[in-house]
Structure formats: structure tokens, C-alpha cells
Structure 1
Amino acid sequence: MRRLLPAPWLSLALFAGWMLLTRSFSPGQALLGAAAAVAIPALLASLRPRPAPLKRPGVLLRLVLRVGRDVVRSGLRVALGVLRARHQPPRGAFVTVPLDLRDEHALAALAMITSVIPGSIWSELAADRSRLLIHVFDLDDEAAFIAHYKADYEQPLKEIFE
């Protein structure tokens, strides 16, 4: 069964997506959707990354809640910064954050977190994965930003994945 459906959830999502996109529930479309749902994951199985190790689900839950809180707070800060930009322009800056993370799953999660938080953009990862360049929309204190980033995002990801 595993050889026929190497990623059953992906197959189910592909089938559902096919049926929704075609807006037809005819037997022919269902057959085409099923063929795509079986063939695509089987053909792309070698490209899928290895499963991520998840060691501390409680830390993951706290991280998700923290990121949600920071998305709301940063969204409000960016909105206020845009509204007052005429009188007080934002102090955008590039910040180099030293990294302790090495796991590719943790780095991918860190990239997603950085990208989803308004006012921050993941710009570059050093080839040796030791430094990360981030652009920050409005930066007051670089050292405080680095400390916050490492403590609130990097450290929990390190606990979860490494």
C-alpha cells in the first residue's frame, strides 16, 4: 500500500483539489483526479524531504501561539509606522543574526516564521548556515531585536528539531 500511495494525505489533497478545480463530479473527472492523486506523489517521492523529527510538541504549541501574538503586534506596529511615515519615517535596517540552528527543517520553519511576521524579511542565509540577514521595517535597537529573535524563535525551534 505504501508503494502505491507514498503520501496518502497528499494524494487525498490532490484528488480533492482536482475535483474542486474542475467543478465536475463526473466519473471521468473522478478517474482523472484519482490517477493524478496516485501518479504525482509516486513520481515525486524521491524529491520529498525526510520526515521532520518532532521532539517537544508542547514547545511547538507555545511557539505557534507566540508567532500568532507577534503577527498581530507586528501588524499593528507596521500599520502605525505606515500611517505616521510622513512625520516620522521608519528606520528600516538589515540585521545579521548569528544562528545556532543547523537542522534543515528548523531553518525552513524559521524562514516561514520570519516571512509571516509583518515588518521582517528573510534576506539571506550564509552558505555555512551560521548567519542570517534579515531586513526589519522599523528597528529601534539591533541588539534587542537579535536577542528577541533568538530567544522567541530560534531557541524553541532548536528544542523541537535538534
Structure 2
Amino acid sequence: MTDKKWLSHPVLSLLLAAVWLLLQQSMALPQLIAAAVLGLLLPRLLHGFLGPALRLRKPGLALRLVVVVLWDIVMSNLVVARLVLSPGGRPQPAWVRVPLALRQPGAISLMASIITMTPGTVSCVVDEVRHEILVHALDCSDAPAMAAEIKSRYERPLLEIFG
């Protein structure tokens, strides 16, 4: 019964309602009603595809992870721009295997998304049998070091946040 309750994904419901209001640029009553309906109805209709909701155990650490990810996105944009625009830039593309300690599908998907959002890296395969993510890096001279950095910057906080 818990998977089929109306607020099985409360964070998603709030996010959908907030995005609707931002897109409408209005807090008028009809928009508030539409936001509430979307926030309640869409997760309810999609509950079979969404799987169990992730429960934040450490919201403060989650906020810190958001700051780290945003910082990494900005810095990676600068590094990739310099690499691509520099006449002498010679990227060293590499495949990096990142072993996973995470086991929750939602947390693994979040980690893969974080990797892909960071310019210069793309999560290509989540191997559930081997418990690893295969990442393509635009420029990587040391694959084990990059895997260790991904684990320390993203996976370790996600393990603490979601348990």
C-alpha cells in the first residue's frame, strides 16, 4: 500500500509543483491549483516506473553535495572550454570504471546523472551485475585517480545521504 499512496514521492511532488509555478511565473489561484494537481497526480500515475522514493537521511549533507556539484560543473566548463579552444589542446579520452558501493537504484541513477551533468564526463553504462559505472572522460591521464575522485566527491556523500 505504501507504494500506491498519493504522496509516495513527496520531494518529486514538491519539485513538480514548484517547476510548474516557475514556468507559469504566477502564484495566482488557478496556477496554484494546477501545480497541486500536477504534483499529486503525476507521481501517482508514474509510481510503477519511479520505484521506491529515496529518503534523505542527512539534508544538510545533501545541500553541501549540491554546492559541490554546481562548483564542479562550473570548473569543468572552464577546463573543457580551455581544452577545446586551445590550439595546442590535446585531450586524452579514456574509459573509466567506477566501482559502486551504492545499491539503491535511485541513488545510482542520481550519481550517473551527476557524472553526466559535469562537462567532460558521460556515464555510459550502469552495470548492475558488476556494480560499476562506465564513464567516458574527455581528458583523463589517470583513470584510477579519476574513479577515486568520483567516489569521494559524489558516491561517499550519496551513501551518507541515502544510507
The worse-fitting range, judged by mean Cα deviation, of 141-150 and 44-53 is 44-53
Q: Is the 8 A contact 1:120 1:137 kept in 2?
A: yes
Q: CA deviation at 1:72?
A: 0.9
Per the alignment, residue 134 of structure 1 pairs with 135
* Counterpart in the other structure of 2:27: none
Instruction: Indicate which of 50, 64, 67 corresponds to 1:65.
Output: 67
Deviation at residue 45 of structure 1 after TM alignment = 3.9
Residue in 1 that maps onto 2:149: 148
Judged with a 3 Å threshold, the aligned counterparts in structure 2 of structure 1 residues 45 and 13 are, in CA distance, closer, same or farther, namely farther
Cα pair distance change 1:70/1:39, threshold 3 Å: closer
CA drift of 1:13 comes to 6.4
Distance 2:117 2:19 in 1: 25
Alignment size in residue pairs:
153
Report the CA distance between 1:135 and its aligned residue.
0.5
Determine the C-alpha separation between the residues in 2 that align with 1:125 and 1:4: 29
1:90–1:54 Cα change, 3 Å: same
Shift of 1:116: 0.8
Counterpart pick for 1:75 among 27, 52, 77: 77
Contact kept? 1:93, 1:136, Cα under 8 Å = yes
Residue 24 of structure 1 is matched in structure 2 by none
**1:60 & 1:39 partners in 2: Cα distance?**
26
SS in 2 for 1:140: coil
Question: What SS does structure 1 have at the residue aligned with 2:150?
Answer: helix
Q: How do residues 82-161 of structure 1 correspond to structure 2 at under 5 angstroms? A: 82-84=84-86, 86-128=87-129, 130-161=131-162
Runs of 4+ in 1 over 3 A off after TM superposition: 3-17, 36-48
TM-score by length of 1: 0.74
TM-score when normalising by structure 2 = 0.74
* Residue 88 of structure 1, CA deviation: 3.0
Output the CA distance in 1 between the equivalents of 2:5 and 2:129.
38
Tell me whether 38-47 or 86-95 shows the greater mean CA deviation: 38-47
Q: Determine if contact 1:54/1:160 at 8 Å carries over to the other structure.
A: yes
Q: Is the 8 A contact 1:105 1:161 kept in 2?
A: no
CA RMSD, Structure 1 to Structure 2 (Å)? 3.4
Identity %: 34
* Unmatched segments (≥5 aa) in structure 2: 25-29
